[in-house]
Structure 1
């Protein structure tokens, strides 16, 4: 009896196993193995992460080293250029400070004439000759780079350029050709002229600054045109040495003689009235 029950139980278990394996299971149950995750090692998970495992390690190439070397050199060269530029700017600022640091109490720069001498009397030059001017500078702290020299005449409002943008020299020297074709646009007159010396970078009317060259216009001289030669045989007469009296001189002489006669006659009549003559 017990053997029969055991056989029945084994038969039923076998039948159930066969039915369960042949029974169509749903898709969620078919992927049952995928739902079960395998056990992971703690040490491997703590050392490396999935992102680090997936990231490829950089492989050095042959072009990496040459590319890095020029970049470093260029950066060094750029830094050196920047430093040099900074150094140049510093020098420029220092030079500008030295140039502008002039005591405002100093007088403006001037000119002292050498030829002709400033102590000499008024000089006269004949139109057509060469005229030489020489000078030196006084109270000059800042030297100009270029100098202009010209002559002006107030009678005809003309300006005659002698030297334009001449290099600065401690002792100035110019030669003026006064020939009519070389003197300028306007002819030279028998008049007084003014020599003007000034900094070419400034205007003639600029206000003189301390230590800088101001416009010099203190030297005056005369120019004359000689008269043509006239022989004595052609009736040349000297107005100052002629013995002939002019009409005005004759009238003045007659007036003086008449006053003398009136004075004598008046004195005679006055003295006769008091019997002075008897």
Structure 2
């Protein structure tokens, strides 16, 4: 996979409804071009939930743009979840037969996430507001005024303890 890069610790995340570009290349060991390609995404925790991104695509294809906003799969609508991309020779099938030298084997090495984007709410409009100049309620302000002097004493004690140890 060239795009997006596969990353097991931090898989790429995409908002539902945007176009997602996938790009790949074949290595030197592919001797026979696939008849046609099928590209699918399946929910990582539910492999039977399959969304077909493209079917009967040209076998020499090396990139594909999935317009997720146009997904019309009523049986399995797009959900916020982690997915695994699968690319295979449509003439052979997703599970295929035993790998043979020179043939395309099923690829399923890219995990990615889809999420439902939220609308942006400025911090000053949140409840309670979040910003540098916003005022909190009287209860919160009094609590902070009570806690801060004690916190300052604690930090001073910790700092002097480290100074003695060094």
Q: TM-score range by the shorter chain?
A: 0.5 to 0.7
> 1:183: how far off?
5.2
Aligned counterpart in structure 2 of residue 235 of structure 1, from 112, 116, 127 = 127
Which residue number in structure 2 is paired with residue 151 of structure 1? 41
Structure 1 unaligned spans of 5+: 1-112, 244-278
- 1:136 is paired with a residue whose SS is coil
Which residue number in structure 2 is paired with residue 178 of structure 1? 68
Partners of 1:196 and 1:168 lie apart in 2 by: 15
Whose helix proportion is higher, 1 or 2? 1
Partners of 1:132 and 1:192 lie apart in 2 by: 17
Mapping of 1:77-116 within 5 angstroms? 113-116=1-4
- 1:202 is paired with a residue whose SS is coil
Q: Is the 8 A contact 1:136 1:172 kept in 2?
A: yes
Aligned counterpart in structure 2 of residue 135 of structure 1, from 6, 12, 24 = 24
- 1:114 is paired with a residue whose SS is coil
Whose strand proportion is higher, 1 or 2? 2
> 1:155: how far off?
4.2
Which residue number in structure 2 is paired with residue 18 of structure 1? none
> 1:132: how far off?
0.3
Q: CA distance change for structure 1 residues 143 and 234 in 2, over 3 Å: closer, same or farther?
A: closer
> 1:199: how far off?
0.6
> 1:212: how far off?
1.0
> 1:140: how far off?
0.8
The structure that has the greater radius of gyration is 1
> 1:198: how far off?
0.4
Mapping of 1:204-223 within 5 angstroms? 204-206=94-96, 207-223=98-114
Structure 2 unaligned spans of 5+: 131-135, 141-166
Partners of 2:43 and 2:104 lie apart in 1 by: 23
- Number of matched residues? 126
Cα root mean square deviation, aligned: 2.7
Q: Is the 8 A contact 2:6 2:111 kept in 1?
A: no
Partners of 2:117 and 2:18 lie apart in 1 by: 12
TM-score, with length taken from structure 2:
0.64
Q: Is the 8 A contact 2:6 2:109 kept in 1?
A: no
Q: Is the 8 A contact 2:87 2:108 kept in 1?
A: yes
